[in-house]
Amino acid sequence: MAGLDKRVNSYQEALAGLTDGMTVLAGGFGLCGIPENLINEIRRRGTRELTVVSNNCGIDHFGLGVLLEERQIRKMIASYVGENILFEQQLLSGELEVELTPQGTLAEKLRAGGAGIPAFYTATGYGTPVAEGKEVRSFNGRPHILEASITGDFAIVKGWKADHFGNVVYRHTAQNFNPMMASAGRITVVEVEEIVEPGELDPAQIHTPGIYVDRIIKGAFEKRIEKRTVSI
Amino acid sequence: MALSREQMAQRVARELKDGYYVNLGIGIPTLVANYVPAGIQVMLQSENGLLGMGAFPHEDEVDADLINAGKQTVTSVPGASIFSSAESFAMIRGGHVDLTVLGAFEVDVEGNIASWMIPGKMVKGMGGAMDLVAGADNIIVTMTHASKDGESKLLSRCMLPLTGSGCIRKVLTDLAYLEIENGAFILRERAPGVSVAEIVEKTAGKLVVPEYVPEMAF
């Protein structure tokens, strides 16, 4: 790593500085576009007491599910966690804390966090358990609740291609939460399928500009499919 | 006869208008895509960041990087666009989606909806449902009229924790199509062969029955 060259050579180096109790923002929707190797590296490091922010929590034995297995997550902020039996067990036993957040509010909390906006009002969740304890204010005659934004110590992100400077493009719907996670991490680590020379990516087609990215690593991905559904 | 899941989807599809952007929830709403009327062009929005969702892929087209909100593999249509989750919910919250179709456990005469949490059971999360009901003007709820034990799901007040308050105006059940106005359900249509009396019996919230309630035709 030198100057604006964000490339690192090992997953160990990619997550250097990650310690117990930190907040980790993880991209992905279901198992689509998840930073699977970075998650496995967190498992290998044995970092504990993590707060993890991600739309979902993987499945048993894959994705963020592996960190549940090793009891490395203390708190999970997510919109939907239904695909995971371990999650339920740890929640009921009190080992794991969960903050369920509407999906759009979660995306906006991260977008705002990365954009330096500490909080915002939204109508989403007004009149529901999500609104409990939150400030309410009316705009145009409609009640809204105040939602605080989210930033993290580390963001772990899965891209398709990146150049040395950390400009990233995502592939299809594997984009999902990844750009917001990338912008909201104090240290943002992106693993990609391919690293290209600066200038190879069309500047107008970059999804995550390199300014948000601290480390880039090339990985090999299983890309497991959660619900393989085909037309016959 | 109560409507089948397919007939419910068919009935909802009649609400589609040419040029609509539509978000379909998981379950019966997803089936609506199979009944888009001929000569009508709609674009399906999937909350994970896809506008222009196509059919399920053939075996050789399956792509782990292209899925819908239900995590199923899908395709995109020519002219589709793909974007981040923040952009996706900007469309939803900003009121740009013309029609949203989603399921529920309960709705009530005030237009409240409960669809995500049954206390005492595992809470899986609300996903995008709260954003969808808060952001859309035009929402159709699809659900069975009563539970398997015969308990009405159309109530004077939702008993389960809410997904959204005062946001539902249209409900399609397996027995009837109803609108919610001024604190009451208005019975607009009934399923073929289903009597008004049966609907009255299975609706716990205040129900207004107009003089003529047409039968749906399929």
d(CA B91, CA A178): 18
Among the partner residues B48, B85, B126, nearest to A180 by beta-carbon distance: B85
| pLDDT per residue as tens digits for the range A103-150 | 999 999 999 999 999 999 999 999 999 999 999 999 999 999 999 999
* Report for A71-85, A203-217, B29-43: range of highest mean pLDDT: A203-217
CA distance A103 to chain B (A): 5
d(CA B80, CA B117): 33
Per the domain annotation, does B168 fall within a domain? yes
Q: Which residues of A touch B59 (CB under 8 A)?
A: 230
Rounded CA Rg of chain A: 18
pLDDT band at A89 (very low <50, low <70, confident <90, very high): confident
- Output the pLDDT for position A1: 52
Across chain A, what does the average pLDDT equal?
96
- Binary contact (A102, B56; C-beta < 8 A): no
CB atoms under 10 Å from CB of A191, counted, come to: 25
Q: Which two tokens stand for residue A86?
A: 């371990």
Residue A72 CB partners (closer than 8 Å, separation 6+): A42, A43, A46, A47, A48, A49, A50
Find out whether B175 and B202 touch, Cβ atoms under 8 Å: yes
CA closest to A129 among chain B residues? B161
- Provide the edge-to-edge strand list for the sheet that holds A161-163: A168-169, A161-163, A194-196
Classify the phi-psi angles of B61: left when phi > 0, otherwise alpha if psi is within -120 to 50, otherwise beta: alpha
d(CA A53, CA B99): 30
Q: By the CB < 8 Å criterion, does B80 face chain A?
A: no
Active-site option among B6, B15, B47, B151: B47
Is the whole model's pTM more than 0.95, yes or no?
yes
CATH number at residue B12: 3.40.1080.10
Per the domain annotation, does B216 fall within a domain? no
d(CA B65, CA A222): 11
ipTM: 0.97
Q: Which residues of A touch B110 (CB under 8 A)?
A: none
Domain A2-118+147-218 CATH superfamily: Glutaconate Coenzyme A-transferase (3.40.1080.10)
* SS3 at position A73: strand
**For chain B, how many structural domains are there in total?**
1
Mean pLDDT of the region B94-121: 95
Residues spanned by the domain of B175: 5-208
| pLDDT per residue as tens digits for the range A31-77 | 999 999 999 999 999 999 999 999 999 998 999 999 999 999 999 99
Per the domain annotation, does B20 fall within a domain? yes
Nearest to B49 by CA among B91, B12, B1, B83: B83
Per the domain annotation, does B83 fall within a domain? yes
Per the domain annotation, does B213 fall within a domain? no
Q: By the CB < 8 Å criterion, does B218 face chain A?
A: no
B47 is catalytic: yes
